[in-house]
Structure 1
Amino acid sequence: MKKEDRQQFTLRITQANSTELIVILYEMLLCYLTDAQEALQEKEIPEGSASEDKDLFREAVRKARGCLNELMTSLDLKYEPAPELMRLYLFCIRRLALGEARRDSRFLEEIRRVIEPLAGAYREIAGQNSAGPVMNNSQTVYAGLTYGRNTLTENMADQGTNRGILA
């Protein structure tokens, strides 16, 4: 994941409600799957960097597993369709382990085929959720064109020390 993507996800997390957080987790998972697939597709690897590509693949898989674990822990199994989602997430964890062990992107693609429709469904649901952001006390970010030549800058307002989730 690129630095810009991490910054964008961080910004979105600070402004997201509970449903949007699930959408963000799905998008992060898909991004890490893409990173893992790209690390596997590097065909012309110089002698010294084979280990580095292997490390990039393992790191992307580890982070994808972290997203899946977070999705699983966010489920409340008392309500439907949480048990079915748990089974899908466990399937994805097993496929991710096989993909990592065999270094085969087909397993990663199977996960993508499961997660993309779920992400789309949660995007629709997120539009209907009128709850405010989970983080009520976060910084406000304003973005706009500056006086510079077509450059975009982000200005932070209210940079006090009392930020984050309010109880």
Structure 2
Amino acid sequence: MTQEKKQEFTRRLSCCNRGEMIVILYDILFTYLDDAIAAKEQGTYEEFRESAGKAGQVVHRLMDDLDFTYPIASELYPAYQFVSKLLALAVCKNTADSLKDAKRVLKNLYDGFTEAAKQDSSGPLMQHTQQVVAGMTYQKGSLTETLQGSESSRGFFA
């Protein structure tokens, strides 16, 4: 994952609500899967294994965050287990076919969570974060993002 992508995900996570958090986790997961598939096509096994492993970590995070007081969690857990096994199989067999199958399974879930996130009207999870304003200044071929509120006290005084 590129540094630019990491910054984008960090910015999105700093201002998301509960529903958007799941969508962002899926976006991170798809990025790692795409990185693994690209690494396999380039023939770099270590990068392939590392990206597939990080995708597996995201899947395990999704599994750990399930709330089994809701009936949908008992249906999502086996799907996540299946995807986790596909990721392990891809690394063991050194093939990207299982990763593509995992993406197909996750795409349907992603679409459902995206629709659910649109209906979520809860507030942001993180408080006292910097506000990001995009487009106040212009550069050729890019959009400049500016952080506001960076002068405020953030953290502990020693």
Aligned equivalent of 2:154: 162
1:88 equivalenced with 2:86 (yes/no)? no
Tell me, in whole angstroms, the C-alpha distance in 1 between the residues paired with 2:153 and 2:88.
41
Indicate the SS of the match to 2:144.
Answer: strand
Aligned equivalent of 2:92: 101
Task: Return closer, same or farther for 1:141/1:94 CA change in 2, 3 Å cut-off.
Answer: same
Deviation at 1:150, TM superposition (A): 5.3
Indicate the SS of the match to 1:16.
Answer: coil
Tell me, in whole angstroms, the C-alpha distance in 2 between the residues paired with 1:147 and 1:111.
40
Asked if the contact 2:138–2:144 (Cα under 8 Å) also holds between the matched residues in 1, the reply is no
RMSD over aligned Cα, in angstroms?
Answer: 1.5
Tell me, in whole angstroms, the C-alpha distance in 2 between the residues paired with 1:18 and 1:148.
34
Read off the aligned partner of 1:162 and give its amino acid letter: R
Alignment of structure 1 residues 103-142 onto 2, 5 Å = 103-142=94-133
TM, length-normalised to structure 2:
0.91
Deviation at 1:73, TM superposition (A): 1.0
TM, length-normalised to structure 1:
0.86
Deviation at 1:122, TM superposition (A): 0.6
Read off the aligned partner of 1:157 and give its amino acid letter: Q
Indicate the SS of the match to 1:156.
Answer: strand
Which residues of structure 2 form unaligned runs of 5+?
none
Task: Return closer, same or farther for 1:27/1:146 CA change in 2, 3 Å cut-off.
Answer: same
Alignment of structure 1 residues 21-60 onto 2, 5 Å = 21-42=21-42, 53-60=44-51
Which residues of structure 1 form unaligned runs of 5+?
44-52
Deviation at 1:148, TM superposition (A): 4.4
46, 57, 61: which one aligns with 1:66: 57
Tell me, in whole angstroms, the C-alpha distance in 1 between the residues paired with 2:138 and 2:31.
33
Count residues with an aligned counterpart.
154
- Give % identity: 37
Deviation at 1:111, TM superposition (A): 0.6
